[in-house]
Amino acid sequence: MLIDGKKISDDIKREIAQTVESMLAQGKKRPHLAAVLVGHDGGSETYVAHKIKACEQCGFKSTLVRFESDVTEQQLLDTIDKLNNDNDIDGFIVQLPLPRHISEQKIIEAIDYRKDVDGFHPINVGRMSIGLPCFVSATPAGIMELLARYNISTKGARCVVLGRSNIVGKPMATLMMQKHNPGDATVTVCHSATKDIKKICAEADIVIAALGQPGFVTEDMIKPGATVIDVGTTRVPDSTRKSGFRLSGDVDFANVEPKCSWITPVPGGVGPMTIVSLMKNTLHAACHDIYPE
Ligand code: GUN
């Protein structure tokens, strides 16, 4: 059966918009998210446009700060300093990847962790890993929300995470193993150096694929009745599309879907949940309910 991330994300956006209405009725300010976008990478342009549109749908104010790809690291650090000190901005993100002459880690660490709605700052990552309130990075948070809303049992489940990125794989593994529901799973993280990856996957009750390799997860890697979460969003050339490409997941959907109990489509699965999790984090930032003033 299909996990409908688009529908769940629309439901959550409506819930957020209602909360914003009641905040405004109480005389509170409108939540405000800023996004910093460097250069013109097609994927980043699309993601940021979706984030700005989601802000409108949730009743948030949004600000886009753009730079060409020759921006210096110091110019970006100065911008972050301004955003950190701007009392109207509740949270902000710097869209990744950044040009190679800029240290992503230096940029991430310059962000005030109380405004780090991406959950990339080491303080948020560290707090998440020991189960303290924090901003959780959006893709793993969105996947946890899908598992919760579809009542997918995770306690004691064998969960395989494919990929070990700081943005998805590592936080995903941390959340799935935490003593919580959803969570409480027995987690294995597989990556480029893993041996017997097919065999490990075939024992899993839940497979979360976040490698960025179209069609990597094939039907022989999936146990009958397993849940499959596809985080892949690789652009592959497609001359039948106006854009010239389509998004491809990490899962061979056509052959895997008949075998599993639950599966996320691409697009319309994890992607919309990532955006809505960022909106939820922005609402938390505006309400100061993770980090009280
Ligand atoms: N690049 C890919 N995913 C993300 C994300 O969630 N946040 C930011 N800032 N950049 C990204």
**Tens of pLDDT along 91-109?**
999 999 999 999 999 999 9
Residues 95 and 160 in one domain: no
Please give the tally of structural domains in the chain: 2
One-letter amino acid identity for 150?
Y
Residues 146 and 98 in one domain: no
Residues 145 and 182 in one domain: yes
Residues 165 and 226 in one domain: yes
In a domain, 10, yes or no: no
- The proportion of the chain whose per-residue pLDDT surpasses 90, expressed as a percent, equals 100
Residues 108 and 216 in one domain: no
Domain span at 76: 27-112
Q: Is the CB of 4 under 6 A from ligand 1?
A: no
**In a mutational test of the pocket of ligand 1, which residue from 116, 167, 281 has the highest number of ligand atoms less than 8 Å from its CB?**
167
Distance 41 CA to ligand 1 centre (A): 12
CATH of the domain at 41: 3.40.50.10860
Mean per-residue pLDDT of the chain: 98
Q: Is the CB of 167 under 6 A from ligand 1?
A: yes
Q: In ligand 1, which atom is closest to the CA atom of 44?
A: 1
User: Catalytic residues, which ones?
Assistant: 51, 95, 118
CATH of the domain at 179: 3.40.50.720
pLDDT over 90 at 175, yes or no: yes
Q: Say what the pTM is.
A: 0.98
Q: What is the pLDDT of residue 293?
A: 83
189-216 confidence digits (pLDDT tens)? 999 999 999 999 999 999 999 999 999 9
